[in-house]
């Protein structure tokens, strides 16, 4: 038979050491028990009562609270433990708290659902991820719309101060293609206009890579400036285009910059069959064609 005794039960009278079931025959098992002690001292006598409460039922967990009543006051030892537990990241009530910002999936509940099924059903999570990529591939993957064939570059009596630059595309241009081409040529003209393509002042590109780069400001200021003088509008007829330029000085670096930019554009975005510098005529270009209904248009650079 189970006996619950006070730590100092050997000092108590015999009647205070009754078994739990004998002291409370009418009470349910493991409900309450009282152990009272009386001890005297200089300040008088005081009594201590220890009470244990247990509640339970089918499908529920039992909770024990130990309270001490001394001289009319009640001390609940369980409350202090609960308050300290609230400060910990691990709590029996709330579980692991962690950092809320690290597990906030409110902005993308679909991704949270995929992560939630990784452990339970990996194959299901893989299927969901594939569906997500298929639906949002336009936002994730950007396929190249240019041409895999290299752009051809030709020179036909090109005059730096007065010449046309001709473009031949694989297909007729759409509005977004025209906007991209205009932005590229406009950027090229701005850099040239500001003297950014001056091959006479290439101090860093011509210096040795073994030592720290050094720039001579006086040398850079005394170099003869190279300025892009003027540029016309971009004219388009079906899959052909042209633009008039007046570069002013014979600066081949300006042409290299434009060619490099157009090579990358042709590969990634708009396929360019060939780029021709110079010449007053080009294949099927019609000088008297100025109607938009016939496929002609002009665009300001």
Angle at 166 between CA 161 and CA 169, to 5 degrees: 160
pLDDT digits (tens, 9 = 90+) for 194-222: 999 999 999 998 888 788 889 999 999 99
Output the pLDDT for position 85: 45
pLDDT at 268 over 60: yes
Asked if 24 contacts 42 with a C-beta cutoff of 8 angstroms, the reply is: no
Torsion of CA 150, 156, 157, 162, to 10 degrees: -70
pLDDT digits (tens, 9 = 90+) for 141-178: 556 788 989 999 999 999 999 999 999 999 999 999 99
User: Mean pLDDT lowest for which of 7-16, 51-60, 122-131?
Assistant: 51-60
pLDDT band, very low/low/confident/very high, at 126 (cuts 50, 70, 90): confident
Whether the CA torsion 235, 237, 241, 247 is positive or negative: it is: negative
- Of residues 20 and 255, more confidently modeled: 255
**Is domain 152-198+220-299 in CATH 3.30.70, yes or no?**
yes
- What pLDDT does 258 receive? 97
**Alpha carbons 204 and 200: distance in angstroms, whole number:** 12
What mean pLDDT value characterizes the chain? Answer: 74
Least confident of 5-19, 28-42, 129-143, 242-256: 28-42
pTM of the model: 0.54
Rounded distance, CA 272 to CA 257, Å? 16
Under 8 Å between Cβ of 229 and 246: yes
188 against 110, higher pLDDT? 188
Percent residues over pLDDT 70 in the chain: 61
In degrees rounded to 5, what are phi and psi of residue 226?
Answer: -120, 115
Kindly state the helix (H) or strand (E) to which residue 115 belongs, with its residue range.
Answer: helix 109-116
Strands 272-277 and 163-169: antiparallel
Q: What is the pLDDT of residue 49?
A: 45
Going by pLDDT thresholds of 50, 70 and 90, the confidence category of residue 13 is low
Residue 138 has pLDDT above 80, yes or no: no
pLDDT band for position 235 (cuts 50, 70, 90):
very high
Q: How confident is the model at residue 75 (pLDDT cuts 50, 70, 90)?
A: very low
Q: How confident is the model at residue 92 (pLDDT cuts 50, 70, 90)?
A: very low
Domain ranges of the chain: 9-55+63-96, 100-140, 152-198+220-299
Q: How confident is the model at residue 190 (pLDDT cuts 50, 70, 90)?
A: very high
The yes-or-no verdict on residue 264 having pLDDT over 60 is: yes
Ordered DSSP codes for 196-210: TT-TT--TTTTS-TT
């Amino acid at each position: 038979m189970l006996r619950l005794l006070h730590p100092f039960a050997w000092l108590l009278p015999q009647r205070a050491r009754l078994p739990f079931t004998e002291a409370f025959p009418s009470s349910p098992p493991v409900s309450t028990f009282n152990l009272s002690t009386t001890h005297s001292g200089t300040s008088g006598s005081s009594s201590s009562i220890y009470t244990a409460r247990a509640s339970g039922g089918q499908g529920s967990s039992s909770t024990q609270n130990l309270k001490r009543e001394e001289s009319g006051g009640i001390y609940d030892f369980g409350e202090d433990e609960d308050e300290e537990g609230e400060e910990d990241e691990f709590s029996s009530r709330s579980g692991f708290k962690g950092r809320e910002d690290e597990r906030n999936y409110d902005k993308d509940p679909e991704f949270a659902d995929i992560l939630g099924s990784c452990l339970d059903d990996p194959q299901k999570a893989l299927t969901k991820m594939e569906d997500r990529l298929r639906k949002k591939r336009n936002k994730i993957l950007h396929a190249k719309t240019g041409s895999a064939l290299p752009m051809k570059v030709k020179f036909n009596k090109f005059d730096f101060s007065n010449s046309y630059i001709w473009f031949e595309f694989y297909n007729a241009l759409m509005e977004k293609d025209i906007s991209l081409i205009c932005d590229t040529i406009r950027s090229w003209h701005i850099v040239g206009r500001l003297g950014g393509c001056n091959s006479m002042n290439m101090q860093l590109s011509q210096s040795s890579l073994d030592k720290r780069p050094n720039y001579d400001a006086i040398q850079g200021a005394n170099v003869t400036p190279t300025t892009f003088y003027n540029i016309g509008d971009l004219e388009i007829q079906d899959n052909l285009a042209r633009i008039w330029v007046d570069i002013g000085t014979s600066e081949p670096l300006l042409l290299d910059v434009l060619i490099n930019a157009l090579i990358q554009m042709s590969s990634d975005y708009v396929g360019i069959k060939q780029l021709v510098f110079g010449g007053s005529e080009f294949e099927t270009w019609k000088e008297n064609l100025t109607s938009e209904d016939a496929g002609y248009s002009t665009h300001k650079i």
